Structure 1
Amino acid sequence: MSTNFNDGKWLNEPAIWHAEAAGLTLTTDEKTDFWRETHYGFTRDSGHFLAFPTTDAFTAQIRVQGEFRTLYDQAGLMVRIDEERWVKTGVEFTDGEAFLSTVVTDGKSDWSVAQPFRELEDFRIRVTVANGAMRIQASRDGSFWPLLRLAPFPAVAQYEVGPTACTPERSGLTVRFSEFSIGPTTAKDLHDLS
């Protein structure tokens, strides 16, 4: 079932955004980011996140469209418990290319990138959380969903999930989010990529 973007609650509301039931368009503010300590030594909690409450188990997915061109330009889905426990996953521009990226944070951040497909100006991301585990999948077409990451994530009674976008090195990235849904956990096997 589709989720109405007007029902979310902002963490770090961007200066420029517009939502209707079926879509959200935002433009990032300057030097926004989510990160905790690892490698860089700093903690940032200034990225844009439109939060929707969930239960202890769910599957959420979203379509992301944008032109990612500057180092660390990023957009996708965030799952958040608090400022020390969260995941952001989607596209991130690094080393001259767009990659599918996941940052799993439980006290400190852990970053991984992959390129199961290279067309990353229009893609979908899906997150399933249940029983202390998070399954992250990405899709170019909404039909084929290769696995991006399977990670432990703390089991709690309620999470927040929703679109996120950051530009640590600049401002002015415009991202369009659509086809956002939150529902029961998928019953599909881990290796079922549909």
Structure 2
Amino acid sequence: MPDSFYWINEPQQWQRNDAALRVVTDENTDFWRKTWYGFERFSGHIFATDVDNDFTFQVRLRAEFTELYDQAGIMFMSDSQHWLKAGIEFNDGAPAIGSVLTLENSDWATGIFTGNPRDFWLRLTRKGDSLRLQYSSDAQHWPLLRLCHFPHGSAKVGVMCCTPERRGLVVDFQDITLTPPLDKALHDLS
């Protein structure tokens, strides 16, 4: 994990070594802007680094999602009103895979996760003004989760977690890598 990572909304409890980051979420932390609920929150935990060019960011996550809206995954952002988060989020009684794209207002796309939600991978590739978001249960097969437009420019990419309804979700982020962009065809799932 590069030394250039830093906290946005640093949690009270966390540990880091060369290979992993462990975070315990603070109480009532969240990311959301306006849609449906009307409120704005940017209090979740982000461990990120600055990016100016195209890249691929990848991470393995381990956590026990048990309470409503428990979540952990990737965060890509230019500021508190323009961001993409993705990962596992506990809702409707089960862990689901999903993403939220926020360009002043948040949207939420979610679906059933067929793998083990306690141990999974995420990958984000930025190419110009496009973001390609993928997930994996085995680090071999990488289905597309989202393809979206995001204005090109200076930004931050990293990992995020939050617990809007409680505190104490323990999340292990492992195998964090930031590399030049994987230049694979859109339907190449390797």
Aligned residue runs from structure 1 range 74-93, under 5 A = 74-93=71-90
For 2:174, the aligned partner's letter is S
Q: TM-score, normalised by structure 2?
A: 0.97
* Paired residue type of 2:23: L
The SS at the match of 1:14 is coil
User: Does structure 2 conserve the Cα–Cα contact (< 8 Å) formed by 1:64 and 1:76?
Assistant: yes
Once residues 19 and 171 of structure 1 are traced to their aligned partners in structure 2, the CA distance between those partners, rounded to angstroms, is: 20
Q: Distance in 1 between matches of 2:124 and 2:177?
A: 11
In 2: Cα distance, 1:189 partner to 1:160 partner: 25
Deviation at 1:28, TM superposition (A): 0.2
2-structure distance, mates of 1:19, 1:116: 28
> In structure 1, what residue type is equivalent to 2:74?
L
Which of 107, 111, 117 is the equivalent residue of 2:108? 111
| Aligned amino acid, residue 60 of structure 2 | R
Q: CA RMSD in A?
A: 1.0
**Deviation for aligned residue 1:116:** 4.9
In structure 1, distance between residues paired with 2:159 and 2:182 = 20
Partner-residue secondary structure (3-state), 1:188: coil
Which string of whole-angstrom CA distances, capped at 9 and with x for unpartnered residues, describes residues 94-142 of structure 1?
A: 0001011100011110110123524110000000112211110000110
Partners of 1:99 and 1:56 in 2: CA distance: 31
Deviations 1:28-82 (A, max 9, x none): 0000001100001000010000111112211101000000000000000100100
Using the alignment, how far apart are the partners of 1:31 and 1:57 within structure 2? 33
What is the TM-score with the length of structure 1 in the denominator? 0.95
Aligned length: 190
Give the gaps of 5 or more residues in structure 2: none
1:73 aligns with 2:70: yes
Which ranges of structure 1 fall in alignment gaps of 5 or more residues? none
The residue aligned with 1:176 is 172
**In the alignment, what sits opposite 1:161?**
157
* Seq. identity, %: 44
Contact 1:48 1:165 survives alignment (8 Å): yes
In the alignment, the residues of structure 2 paired with residue 55 and residue 63 of structure 1 have an alpha-carbon distance, to the nearest angstrom, of 23
The equivalent residue for 1:131 is 128
SS at match of 2:107: strand
